[in-house]
Structure 1
């Protein structure tokens, strides 16, 4: 019997000069463990006049995880953080009761040809941590646990698995794992996983239960403890998941909460300029007039609406 419960195709859209593929949320699967939002951004080539410039926007009730394959982004936030993230490193920002940030192309790259490619992930916070003080952590690429087993390369980007622990300071039991192989290999890791689990195929393909799955597919497992597949040569996949929460999570614009009242309060606070500002930033993105998540599964969405969604993509 197949262990694949659901197959989610990456839903692509042009956002200005960026290509973003929405993976979560999905109409049939809002979350996988505590993971509530995943975008595959790029790959995109930008010329000397094209740059990433996402102005000030707020978050509550979640942690953001930015992981780049190519390019660089300067992160600035209302805590006073200013740091450049490059491929293989992790930016982990916990919004808690409220944080504001921006993402921009570094000055050193703004007048040159460049690429941008990576994953932007939101992890919902446990109910008791939803209103915690905001924090920011940067973890360099060489601090991420990495190892080789029988020619297969593993990285534990966040969480706990395989008897190892990432230095990324997560708030609930979860895992986010990179697996690469230059040759075709069988990967059996179910004994190390728990809760809900999903596999995202970035490059190449995997074979599971006599079915071949290719790039830009997200496979949600029926049982994480049965996770076993054949990874084909020159493939890269990501395994993520963990323990689900007992309470439902609501998501609107950049806000996540177990209580809709927290989201309504955050919306009012953003309109009324009650969120903190990012030092040396002046432009803020206004609250959209409608909940853009309602539109996420429609295939034809006006470009203007996607321009607004850019505030949630990085």
Structure 2
């Protein structure tokens, strides 16, 4: 990406029973537009005795976006949603004033070998919507805008860009774009983006301003209006960003807020199990010890 200001390397993080690659937040860059958290899951191979079991845990002040490349996750939440997410589809859950959800390997896959690979993303809510009612939307793969230009495949996963709009019900101006190619290509985004912008390389590599960049890196751009780079063959990249909020966002565990006192209240509420329950779930993730 032209005018690269910062390079963020994927860092290992433990989310329970397997490791993920943490991309955001980063000490020098806490957010890109409204995006405050990105984990790259896998690809991890699970045998017939290993399963994803993320127990019920809470969120406030954000929307979660789950996007899988491989595998399957059963999502259950305190709103009453129960749905299997598969590759290419999108789970969009808005926590608002408080939601609890679990993420597990579906029952029919629990005794077989499987691969899990995808992105889990947190998008902060505008201040006036931080205490909104929780909501959940599942977007099927064929509902997501996609198009091809000169052999380059684009997909607008969320937000608005390139004169197109994703059906994902976002709450502020943002974009999350997938770009894939099979042959080396020059990409010219021009002035199609806005706010803050970053590029994540999932596979392959890109060449920009005399530098090569490889997988598991996020490149933070200085100027979204000067976005140009060359993609190597068989590469997949994600461009994301949008308008930043005027107020800083703070994160405590799974809670996001513009108000530190609200984070303290959320902690107390979870410790005292005052959040809504997930139907059919008994266990939960305890607040982490210091």
Q: Check whether TM > 0.5.
A: yes
d(CA) in 2 for partners of 1:2, 1:8: 16
3-state SS of the aligned residue for 1:287? coil
What pairs with 1:180-259 in structure 2 (closer than 5 Å)? 180-259=180-259
Alignment of 1:46 with 2:46, yes or no, is yes
Tell me if the contact between 2:52 and 2:105 (Cα under 8 Å) persists in the aligned partners: yes
Give the aligned partner of residue 105 of structure 2: 105
Give the aligned partner of residue 68 of structure 2: 68
3-state SS of the aligned residue for 2:191? helix
d(CA) in 1 for partners of 2:282, 2:77: 12
What pairs with 1:74-89 in structure 2 (closer than 5 Å)? 74-89=74-89
TM-score, scaled to structure 2? 0.98
Tell me if the contact between 2:73 and 2:84 (Cα under 8 Å) persists in the aligned partners: yes
Give the aligned partner of residue 3 of structure 1: 3
d(CA) in 1 for partners of 2:191, 2:166: 18
d(CA) in 2 for partners of 1:40, 1:153: 21
d(CA) in 1 for partners of 2:100, 2:9: 31
Tell me if the contact between 1:199 and 1:240 (Cα under 8 Å) persists in the aligned partners: yes
Give the aligned partner of residue 55 of structure 1: 55
d(CA) in 2 for partners of 1:183, 1:173: 32
What pairs with 1:30-179 in structure 2 (closer than 5 Å)? 30-179=30-179
d(CA) in 1 for partners of 2:14, 2:204: 23
Tell me if the contact between 1:19 and 1:43 (Cα under 8 Å) persists in the aligned partners: no
Tell me if the contact between 1:65 and 1:92 (Cα under 8 Å) persists in the aligned partners: yes
Coordinate RMSD, CA, aligned:
1.2
Task: Report the CA distance between 1:206 and its aligned residue.
Answer: 0.4
Task: Report the CA distance between 1:97 and its aligned residue.
Answer: 0.1
d(CA) in 2 for partners of 1:167, 1:285: 32
Give the aligned partner of residue 25 of structure 1: 25
Tell me if the contact between 1:17 and 1:44 (Cα under 8 Å) persists in the aligned partners: no
Residues 206-265 of structure 1 show CA distances to partners (whole Å, capped at 9, x for unaligned) of: 011111100111000000111111011000000000000000100010000000111111
Give the aligned partner of residue 270 of structure 1: 270
Tell me if the contact between 2:2 and 2:226 (Cα under 8 Å) persists in the aligned partners: no
Task: Report the CA distance between 1:191 and its aligned residue.
Answer: 1.4
Q: How many residues in Structure 1 have an aligned counterpart in Structure 2?
A: 290
TM-score, scaled to structure 1? 0.91
Higher helix share: 1
Task: Report the CA distance between 1:12 and its aligned residue.
Answer: 2.1
d(CA) in 1 for partners of 2:190, 2:21: 27
Residues 74-115 of structure 1 show CA distances to partners (whole Å, capped at 9, x for unaligned) of: 000000000000000000000000000000000110000100
Q: Which moved more, 1:159-168 or 1:186-195?
A: 186-195
d(CA) in 2 for partners of 1:132, 1:17: 32
Tell me if the contact between 1:17 and 1:46 (Cα under 8 Å) persists in the aligned partners: no
Tell me if the contact between 1:64 and 1:92 (Cα under 8 Å) persists in the aligned partners: yes
Tell me if the contact between 1:187 and 1:229 (Cα under 8 Å) persists in the aligned partners: yes
